[in-house]
Structures are given as structure tokens and as C-alpha cells.
Amino acid sequence: MMTPRLAQQALNIPRSGIRDVFDRVEQAPDAISLCVGEPNATAAPHIVEAACRSIREGHTKYTNVLGIESFRAAVAEYSRNIKGLEYDPNCEIQAIDGATIGLFLALKAVIDPGDEVIIPSPFFTSYDAEVMMCGGVPVTVALTPEHHMQLNADDIEAAITPRTRAIIINSPGNPTGAVTPADELARIADVCKWHDLWAISDEVYHPFVFEDGATATDSAADKADSDDSADCDINAAPFPAAPSIAAVPGMHERTVVVESLSKTFAMTGWRIGYLLGPSALIEQTSKIAELMHSSVNSTAQYAAVAALTGPMDHVIAMREEYRTKRQIVLDKLADCTAVRLIEPQGAFYAFVDIRATRMDADTFSRRLLDEMRVAVVPGEAFGAAGAGFVRLSYAGDANELREGVQRLRRFAEAHADPLLGRHTPEFHHLTVMA
């Protein structure tokens, strides 16, 4: 028997291109996978113990839709210490089931059907789909190698129309690893204020920045070095974070910060994060969330309190591990004319230009898997602007990473067009090829 008609809106929502790659990798269990955007580590012992203790003590009931008080207080303190952001835990912070649902709640609260949302491209795979799920229209703005794949205020402003309601910001970025500097975020903030737009800022990779100048200026990390540092909390600013547009004067009331503990604390399966925003916004996102799921997993919230308030050694260790693995990628692809690397400044991804092979990214990734047993994600999975690139993750095992990148290089060199692959040192691997 035939099933009843399915909703056209559901049929129109694009499937994640990353899932297509995962499906192929499952058929090649011997392959080295450089696909998964997930820490190789697991949550620190004190986080796990806090979760177990909460269960033993019977904290397994529904919670306030905003989250338990101790979680919101921990988020407020962490945001102040790490990012220099001030949010009221009573009305400006909301627990969420991870960043993806947080993004959906934010969009649902700020756009009406037909409204446009500017999305810098390439972008995390759910951005355009979630805009469409909310009845909005995604408008992409290409990120370019000339700007190191960082957001650019002029390009954003050129895409604004009378229907534009919001801009999605992701820094450090997935899939590029780009970190947009504080001065450019200030220019984007001016665009938002001038055109009366919302900024929806996905900051889930905020601890993982590796380049000088990529972190916030006048940040909480700087304050920790002041004369008053002795009076600071022991966990104040244990690491510098990527700058947040919410820190720009005048942006508190028009920014929604979307955060997750998944990457920072290696808690991907716990599904716990939070929104930071003005009280009028949180009032709406919490109303929608209550209709969707009543409340967020209580055990994960108690674990999150321990993560946010406890020792940050685990985070710092991951940060340095990613720095080391990033260097493996840089070293293995150094002076390679068959591919060009947009040097990542943060997160744990590298976005590799493979156009000298004259293959489209999907063909390149399929053949790399079939012939070299290495899995990467084709750039088109992150929007049209990703054409000609592949994303690799360096979050996994260092030895597999070293071997996988070496195989990728050999494969690309075997298929590269010498004319397209000629090296241009003055652009430090950032030249756009014709």
C-alpha cells in the first residue's frame, strides 16, 4: 500500500551532505576517516561523576524550561570569565539540547515566513535547512580565500534587502577553521545596528583558537593579567576565547549567542548547550522550547554545572592537542602544489582547495575513499561556495591523521594539473585559481 502524501515542506528540506559521506564510510570499515567533527576525548571524570551523583540523589525530574538555577548561574559566570559577556541568569540564559536546536529556536523567534537570513558560505550544514524549516529564505554570502574565509562586513551589507532580518555568524568557523577578528565583528555590528538586524552567533568552538590576534581584544583573558587578578576566581579566563559580536557595544540587545558543551568539554552525546540573549528573545525561545520538549535533560544539566565551574585542564589539554594536530596538517601539506590549504586559525578543521586536480569535490572525495581509503567531506556539503574544496577534521587520532593527510597529498599529486597547481608564495596558499 502507498503511504499518504508527505509534506512538501519536509521534502524541500535538504539532507545533510555529511550524512551521505558517513553512509559511504560505513561501507569501508578499513578507511581512515577525517570526517567526524567530534573530539577524540570524552568528558572529564569530574563531569561524569557529577552526572552520576545527580542520579543517585534523585535529580531526575522535569526542570524549569530555562534550565536549573545552578546551570544558568554557571553559564553566566563562565560567559563573564571567558568572554567578558554579562547575562542575567534569571531571564537572559536558556538551557538547550545542543547548538542545533538552539539555532532553530533562535530563528523561530526572530523570523517570519518570507524573511531573509544572511548565511556566510561555506557554512555548517544545518544553517540553510533550519532557515527553511522556519519559513525563511537563506541568502548566502561567499567567504573568500583573499579574506582568509573570515566574515566581511562589506560583503554582508551588499546582500541586505528590505526582507533581511538576521545574519548567522560562525567563528571559529565550520568547515573552514576561520576566526573573524574583533575589529571586523565590530564593523558587522555596525551593519546590524544600521539595518536593525539580529545577529545569531554560533560560538561552539570558542576555546579553540591558535593564531596570534585571533582572540578577543580587551577580553576577560586580558583582565586576568591585570593587577586585580589575584582577586579573580581560580577558573577566570584559563584560556583566551575567540571574540564574540555580543561583546560589541550596542549588540547585547540584538544578538543571540548559541553555545554548546559538545566541543568545549567533549560532551557531544550529552546534548547540552545554552542560549544567551535579551530577555524579550529568551521569553519567546523558552516558550517554543516548552512546547517542543518541556525541559532539557536534567542529568546533562548537572554534569554541565561541573564542566563550567570545575577545572579547565581538560579543555586546555584538548586545545593544545588540536594545535599539535593542526601542525601535522600544515607540515604534511607544506609546499604541496596539488592542493592549497586555507590555513585554519581555530576549531579543528582544515578546508583544502583541490581544484588543481580538475575534479569536483564529490568525485575527489569518492575516489579518495575508494582508491586511498581516506574519507573527507566534499565542500559542496557546506553550500555552493564550498565547490572545489574538501573538509578534513583533525580532531581524531594523530597517527591516522598523519597517514590520512599523506595519502590525500599523494592522491592529489597524482592527478593535479601542473598549470593549475603552480605555487604562488606571496599568497601563502590563499590564491584563488582561475
How many CB atoms are located within 10 Å of the residue 163 CB?
A: 14
Residues contacting residue 280 through CB under 8 Å, at least 6 positions apart? none
So what's the pLDDT on residue 358?
A: 94
Q: Dihedral of CA 87/91/95/101: which sign?
A: negative
Separation CA 266–CA 270 (nearest Å): 9
Q: Which of 7-21, 96-110, 188-202, 315-329 is predicted with the least confidence, judged by mean pLDDT?
A: 7-21
Domain ranges of the chain: 8-42+314-427, 45-311
Separation CA 337–CA 10 (nearest Å): 43
Query: Looking at per-residue confidence, does 418 or 92 come out higher?
Result: 92
- Model confidence at 164, pLDDT cuts 50, 70, 90, reads very high
- Model confidence at 1, pLDDT cuts 50, 70, 90, reads confident
So what's the pLDDT on residue 425?
A: 37
Chain mean pLDDT for the chain: 91
pLDDT for residue 429 is more than 60: no
pLDDT for residue 421 is more than 70: no
Element (H or E) spanning 104, and its range? helix 99-110
pLDDT for residue 9 is more than 90: no
Separation CA 400–CA 329 (nearest Å): 11
Residues contacting residue 209 through CB under 8 Å, at least 6 positions apart? 172, 179, 215, 240, 241, 242, 345, 346
pLDDT for residue 114 is more than 60: yes
- Model confidence at 222, pLDDT cuts 50, 70, 90, reads very low
Query: Looking at per-residue confidence, does 37 or 265 come out higher?
Result: 265
pLDDT for residue 142 is more than 50: yes
Q: N- to C-terminal Cα distance for the chain? A: 53
Of 237, 348, 302, the C-alpha closest to 54 is: 302
So what's the pLDDT on residue 433?
A: 35
List the alpha helices (DSSP H) in 111-181: 126-133, 153-158
Element (H or E) spanning 409, and its range? helix 398-415
Condensed to tens digits (0 to 9), the pLDDT of residues 346-374 reads: 999 999 999 999 999 999 999 999 999 99
| Residue range 45-311, CATH number | 3.40.640.10
| CATH number of 8-42+314-427, picked from 3.40.190.10, 3.40.50.300, 3.90.1150.10, 3.40.50.2300 | 3.90.1150.10
So what's the pLDDT on residue 426?
A: 32
- pTM value is 0.91
- Model confidence at 29, pLDDT cuts 50, 70, 90, reads confident
